[in-house]
Structure 1
Amino acid sequence: MKKTIYFLFTKSVGLYINVLSFLLPEKATQLAYTLFSEPRDGKLSKDNLPAILQETEKETYHHNETHFQTYTWKGNDTIILLAHGWESNASRWENILPYLRKSGSTIIAIDAPAHGLSGGTEFNIPQYAAFIDVLVQKFNPQYLIGHSLGAKTCLYYQSNYPNNSIEKTVILGSPSDFKIILNNYIEMLSLNSIILGGIEAHYLKHFQLKLENFSGKVFAANIQTKGFIAHDKDDTIVLFEEGKKIASTWKDSVFIETSGLGHSMHSDELYTKISQFLFE
């Protein structure tokens, strides 16, 4: 019953946007983009933070008329920066933290745009990468770990922001081709070609990005640092082939195939391998 209601709701929204596109195409495109880029989950409350985040040093940074939140587990001079994915927040790293903290490192987790305690209503990778760059410039982390769209943001960052501090990057469950994500959204709402073209034009105008080049595979080809790429064969959110695409162009990387973990990729065995990659 819930699936039927959701199906009818999404198709009704799509029909409204399609009709609007013939009357007010710019307004219709903006509505479609807003629905596409605004997360519906992942926000946090300062008064009710998950326990794992309550024990951290918290700091808010301001950048380009918005703000973003970080959480730090203090350690030694080795810095690890963590970037979560879509409709999540910094608490998603709770399971891997014991493995990372064994090294004595300082660990910094960031809330993505419009997630956790960070500001804004829109998530986009270029803005997320700009947030990461603020922290890289300040803390010079040696290691970067990302999950899902946070992982793709790490790829985008490494490809577009030159830096000398990051030595190794861990990519978990990352999508590669942005067009697949967008086409899935277009298909879900049955949106017409006017909207598809309008969204593509929006990315070109605001982010100087052609969607065929907005690809993890393309980004990875430009990365010189060591990479650890892991993807689960049973991932129903981001297909396994997406991880293989990224690995195919990243020269100095290892690809780990997991099974039964789904998109979350929580596993003691995987976390042990990540620790070995980073610290041994």
Structure 2
Amino acid sequence: MELINKIAYFTLTKSIGLYINLVSYIFPKKAARLAYKFFTQPREGKLLPNAIPDILKEAEQEVLFHEENSIQTYTWKGNETKILLVHGWESNASRWEQFINYFRKSKSTIIALDGPGQGLSSGVEFNIPQYAKHVNALVERFQPQFIIGHSMGGAACLYYQFKYNNPILEKMVILGAPSEFEILLNNYKRTISLNEKTFQLLTEKFTERFKISPSEFSGKKFASTFNLKGLIAHDIDDDVVAFNEGKEIAKAWKSAKFIETKGLGHSLHDENLYQKINNFLFEE
């Protein structure tokens, strides 16, 4: 069954790439829009209002509004110490269930959000600059001292602090996050076999859309400007984001420490790791 799924995925992705490449010769701007759409629209992670996971039902829910977007938030109330959780691609706030159950012991207030186009938040597009705006809306609303991001959520946290330089935050934890946006783009190009013409159009569209080129969009460059304390954890068996990406972020971040794990994969769910994060947040 797994082999069949892999074959189906391979066939679908290559078919999409072939179609976009063909369109680029006649309608280049349309090809760029299509390539952008498939890169930025999550296929998983949405939730139905009448079927949300139990862990989210236990939270106090609030909807924030930013520009034309609604942002679904969840708060597990505790004391005045607040932790903001930022999930990754094709996911939602429920990915933090194990983490939340562990950190309830700290008596802290835990806050999470559904990212753009995921969970119960509005939209169809997921991108880091927009996600950073949503993170900023939550930081302004809840005033957390700590922020923890996983995967693309971690990348959004790095960009957020670089862009907003928020003094409210005291410590940041980054879990399995990519550093270089160019690597993500090149992986996408290779996965669906985009031709050079289409890839150049896509790169130009990103630069126009976000006012920053993919080559400048670098987690390690962002982190090199930070003064707040950081903790980066990455698993050597991560098959989604290369282990070296986490090491590069940690190397550039002057006031950060790096934790290497093994056997946890990309998810990084583990009580031993949680304990190390707990020590970093509350004891160091």
* TM-score tier after normalising by the smaller chain length: over 0.9
Separation (CA, whole Å) in 2 of partners of 1:7 and 1:165: 45
1:56 to 54, 59, 66: 59
Q: How many Å apart are 1:162 and its aligned residue?
A: 2.1
Separation (CA, whole Å) in 2 of partners of 1:38 and 1:114: 8
State the one-letter code of the partner of 2:57. Answer: Q
2:155 to 152, 155, 158: 152
Asked whether the equivalents of residues 61 and 67 of structure 1 are also in contact (C-alpha less than 8 Å), the reply is: yes
Separation (CA, whole Å) in 1 of partners of 2:214 and 2:266: 24
Q: How many Å apart are 1:20 and its aligned residue?
A: 0.4
Asked whether the equivalents of residues 99 and 275 of structure 1 are also in contact (C-alpha less than 8 Å), the reply is: no
State the one-letter code of the partner of 1:66. Answer: N
Separation (CA, whole Å) in 1 of partners of 2:167 and 2:56: 29
2:10 to 3, 7, 14: 7
* Equivalence for 2:127: 124
**Cα 1:139–1:5 shift into 2, 3 Å:** closer
1:215 to 213, 218, 241: 218
1:174 to 169, 174, 177: 177
* Equivalence for 1:270: 273
Q: How many Å apart are 1:226 and its aligned residue?
A: 0.2
Aligned residue pairs: how many? 280
1:89 to 92, 113, 131: 92
1:256 to 253, 256, 259: 259
Q: TM-score if structure 1 supplies the norm length?
A: 0.98
Stretch moving more, 195-204 or 138-147: 195-204
Q: TM-score if structure 2 supplies the norm length?
A: 0.97
2:199 to 196, 199, 216: 196
Separation (CA, whole Å) in 1 of partners of 2:130 and 2:183: 21
State the one-letter code of the partner of 1:146. Answer: G
Q: Which runs of 5+ in 1 are unaligned?
A: none
Q: Which runs of 5+ in 2 are unaligned?
A: none
Separation (CA, whole Å) in 1 of partners of 2:87 and 2:11: 31
State the one-letter code of the partner of 1:55. Answer: E
* Equivalence for 2:29: 26
1:45 to 48, 53, 67: 48
SS at match of 1:9: helix
2:166 to 160, 163, 167: 163
1:235 to 229, 233, 238: 238
2:103 to 83, 100, 103: 100
Q: How many Å apart are 1:86 and its aligned residue?
A: 0.4
Separation (CA, whole Å) in 2 of partners of 1:103 and 1:8: 48
Q: How many Å apart are 1:80 and its aligned residue?
A: 0.7
Q: How many Å apart are 1:36 and its aligned residue?
A: 0.6
Separation (CA, whole Å) in 2 of partners of 1:111 and 1:205: 26
Asked whether the equivalents of residues 173 and 243 of structure 1 are also in contact (C-alpha less than 8 Å), the reply is: yes
Separation (CA, whole Å) in 2 of partners of 1:84 and 1:10: 25
Separation (CA, whole Å) in 2 of partners of 1:163 and 1:15: 44
* Equivalence for 2:69: 66
Separation (CA, whole Å) in 1 of partners of 2:16 and 2:276: 44
Q: How many Å apart are 1:8 and its aligned residue?
A: 2.1
Percent identity of paired positions between Structure 1 and Structure 2:
55
Stretch moving more, 255-264 or 95-104: 95-104
